[in-house]
Structure 1
Amino acid sequence: MNDRQEQWRAAEQLALTLTEGGLQRMAARTLAVFLFTDQDSVTAGEIAERLEASAGSVSAAIKSLLSVGLIERLPAPGSRREHYRLRDDAWAVLFTSQNTVIQVMLQAAQAGIDTTTADDPAHRRLTQMRDFYQFMLGEIPTLLERWQHHHNSAFRQA
């Protein structure tokens, strides 16, 4: 077995682990492609070919990874296909207000709060949900600042 085959075996194992952790299977496999590719960017077609998957399932996985901020679209002058890459700050963005999933959760909680009365148990639960996400978003900048400091220190030592 060559090094590339071993890498793709590790990629599939990582995807399995991510799936067991709750990520949808195709999103996990697609994320593994981004993590293990030796290219600067990839197209949906290249991912589908690599994973031997349908264009539709890869498209849905890409949309999912875009929505949480792990990947980004790149301009590709001269190409008629969309190009994507793993964001340099992917893991940090995953936990910021740029993450559309967090924003959707906040909006959903607020919409529910707006339709319930203060004495309704649903109102209390939805308020707790909203407050949790607001609290987390408030704490994340300090955490990310600490991460950046840690990362920069480790990078300078390497």
Structure 2
Amino acid sequence: MNDRDEQWQAAERLALTLTEGGLQRMAARTLAVFLFTDAETVTMGEIADRLGVSAGSVSGSVKSLLSVGLIERLPAPGSRREHYRLRNDAWPTLFSTQNTVVHVMLQAAETGICVTASGDPAHERLTRMRDFYAFLLGELPGLLRRWEQTRVPR
């Protein structure tokens, strides 16, 4: 077995771990491709080829990884295919205000609060949900600043 085969086996093990942790299987495998590829960018077709699946099955995973800020779409002059790469700041972005999932959860709670009456148990649960996500968004900038302060330039 060569080094590349060992790397892809490690990628599949990582994807399995991520799946056991709650990530959708295809999103976990797609993320593993981004983490282990030696290419600067990849297309959905290349991800599909690497995983031995259809390009259509990769589409939702790419959309999911884009929405949480782990990957980014890049311009590819001369190419008709969209190119993607793991963001250099993927992990801080996952926990930043750029994470659309956090905003969607906050908005969902707000919408629920508006259609439930004060004193209703659903209203109270939704208020706690909203307050948590608002607190999280308020705390993230300071947390990320502290993270950046620990980083050693490479």
Q: In structure 1, what residue type is equivalent to 2:138?
A: G
Gaps in structure 2 of 5+ consecutive residues: none
Please state if 1:82 is matched with 2:92: no
Stretches of 4+ moved more than 6 A in 1?
A: none
Q: CA deviation at 1:151?
A: 1.3
Report the 3-state secondary structure (helix = DSSP H, G, I; strand = E; otherwise coil) of the residue aligned with 1:42: coil
Show the 5 A alignment for 1:1-158. 1-152=1-152, 155=153
Q: In structure 2, what residue type is equivalent to 1:123?
A: H
Report the 3-state secondary structure (helix = DSSP H, G, I; strand = E; otherwise coil) of the residue aligned with 1:85: strand
Q: In structure 1, what residue type is equivalent to 2:125?
A: R
Report the 3-state secondary structure (helix = DSSP H, G, I; strand = E; otherwise coil) of the residue aligned with 1:88: coil
Q: In structure 2, what residue type is equivalent to 1:32?
A: A
User: RMSD in angstroms over aligned alpha carbons?
Assistant: 0.8
TM-score, length of structure 2 as denominator length:
0.98
Measured against aligned partners, the alpha-carbon deviations of 1:61-115 in whole angstroms (never above 9, x if no partner) come to 1001001000000000000000000000010110111111111100100000000
Measured against aligned partners, the alpha-carbon deviations of 1:20-75 in whole angstroms (never above 9, x if no partner) come to 00000000000000000001000000000000011111011100100100000000
Name the CA distance, whole Å, in 2 between partners of 1:151 and 1:25.
31
Name the CA distance, whole Å, in 1 between partners of 2:42 and 2:52.
15
Report the 3-state secondary structure (helix = DSSP H, G, I; strand = E; otherwise coil) of the residue aligned with 2:151: helix
Gaps in structure 1 of 5+ consecutive residues: none
Aligned residues: 154
Identity %: 74
